[in-house]
C-alpha cells in the first residue's frame, strides 16, 4: 500500500519508479507503459476520433513523458502528470487537424441540457410516477458479462459531448479525484461537477435502457 506524500502529491512509489526510469531501467519504463497505454488511448479518443490518430497521440505522449520526466517533482501523481501531457498533445492535434474546436470552446454551458430524468416520469408535484425498476444485475461484473455490454457502454460514452466524455472518463472510468480532473482538464470544480452530472445521468439512462428485459 503506497503512502501518500501529501493530499494530492505523488505517492512515494511514483517517485521511486521515476528514479528507476531516469537511471535507464527498461523494465520500469515497460511497466509504466503497460499500466497506462490503454488508458491513454481511451482518453485520446475523446479528442481525436480515429483509433490510428489516438495511437499516434499516445506515442507522442510517451516521448513527451520521457523528455519531461526529470522535471517531475511529485507535486501531482505521475498518473495525473501523464494524463496532462496527453490532453495537451491531443488538443493540439485535434485542433491542428481541424477535427475539433478547442476544448474550452465546447464550453461551460452545452446547448443540450437535458434533465437527469425524463420529466414525464414524475408527477406534477415532482414525485416519481414511473419509478426506476430494479436491475437484475447488481454488480459491475454481472453487467459487463452481458453480451455486447462493454461495446454498448463504450459507444454510449463516445456519444457524449467531448467535454462530458472527458470528465466522466477521468473521474469514473479512471477514478481520478475531482481535483485531479480539474488539474488535467484545466476546468473549474463547478464546471467539472456540472459536466459530470450530465454525463452520469445520461449513462444511467443508457444502462437502464440496456438492462430492460435482460
Q: Which residues bind other proteins (CB under 8 A)?
A: 24, 26, 29-30, 33-34, 37-39, 41-42, 55, 59, 62-63, 66, 115-117, 119, 122, 125-128, 131-135, 138-141, 143-144, 150, 153-154, 157, 168, 172-173, 175, 178, 193, 196-197, 200-201, 203-204, 207-208
* Whole-angstrom distance, CA of residue 114 vs CA of residue 64: 39
Q: Which residues contact 136 (CB under 8 A, 6 or more apart)?
A: 211, 214
Of the pair 101, 154, the CB lying nearest other proteins is at 154
CB of 171 to other proteins, least distance (A): 9
Which residues are within 8 A (CB) of 185 and not within 5 positions of it... i.e. 6 or more apart? 87, 103, 166, 167, 170, 192
DSSP output for 4-32: BSSSSSPBHHHHHHHHHHHTT-HHHHHHH
- 98 vs 109 by CB, closer to other proteins: 109
- Least spacing, CB of residue 169 vs other proteins, in Å: 8
Structural contact between residues 80 and 11, judged by C-beta atoms closer than 8 angstroms:
no
Shortest spacing between CB 19 and other proteins, in angstroms = 13
Q: Which is nearer to other proteins, 106 or 117 (CB)?
A: 117
Q: For residue 183, what is the DSSP state?
A: H
Residue closer to other proteins, measured from CB, 92 or 177 = 177
* Closest distance of CB 6 from other proteins, Å: 20
Angle at 49 between CA 149 and CA 41, to 5 degrees: 70
Q: How far is the CB of 56 from other proteins (least distance, A)?
A: 11
Amino acid at each position: 500500500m503506497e503512502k501518500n506524500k501529501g493530499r494530492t502529491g505523488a505517492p512515494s512509489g511514483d517517485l521511486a519508479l521515476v528514479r528507476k526510469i531516469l537511471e535507464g531501467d527498461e523494465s520500469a519504463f515497460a511497466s509504466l507503459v503497460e499500466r497506462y497505454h490503454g488508458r491513454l488511448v481511451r482518453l485520446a479518443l475523446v479528442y481525436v476520433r480515429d483509433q490510428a490518430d489516438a495511437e499516434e497521440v499516445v506515442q507522442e505522449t510517451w516521448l513527451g513523458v520521457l523528455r519531461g520526466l526529470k522535471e517531475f517533482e511529485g507535486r501531482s501523481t505521475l498518473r495525473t502528470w501523464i494524463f496532462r501531457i496527453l490532453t495537451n498533445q491531443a488538443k493540439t492535434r485535434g485542433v491542428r487537424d481541424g477535427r475539433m474546436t478547442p476544448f474550452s470552446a465546447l464550453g461551460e454551458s452545452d446547448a443540450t441540457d437535458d434533465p437527469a430524468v425524463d420529466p414525464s416520469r414524475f408527477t406534477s408535484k415532482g414525485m416519481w410516477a414511473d419509478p426506476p425498476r430494479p436491475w437484475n444485475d447488481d454488480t459491475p461484473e454481472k453487467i459487463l458479462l452481458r453480451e455486447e455490454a462493454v461495446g454498448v457502454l463504450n459507444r454510449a460514452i463516445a456519444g457524449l459531448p467531448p467535454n462530458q466524455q472527458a470528465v466522466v472518463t477521468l473521474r469514473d472510468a479512471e477514478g481520478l479525484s475531482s481535483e485531479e480532473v480539474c488539474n488535467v482538464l484545466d476546468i473549474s470544480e463547478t464546471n467539472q461537477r456540472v459536466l459530470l452530472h450530465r454525463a452520469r445521468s445520461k449513462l444511467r439512462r443508457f444502462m437502464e435502457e440496456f438492462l430492460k428485459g435482460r
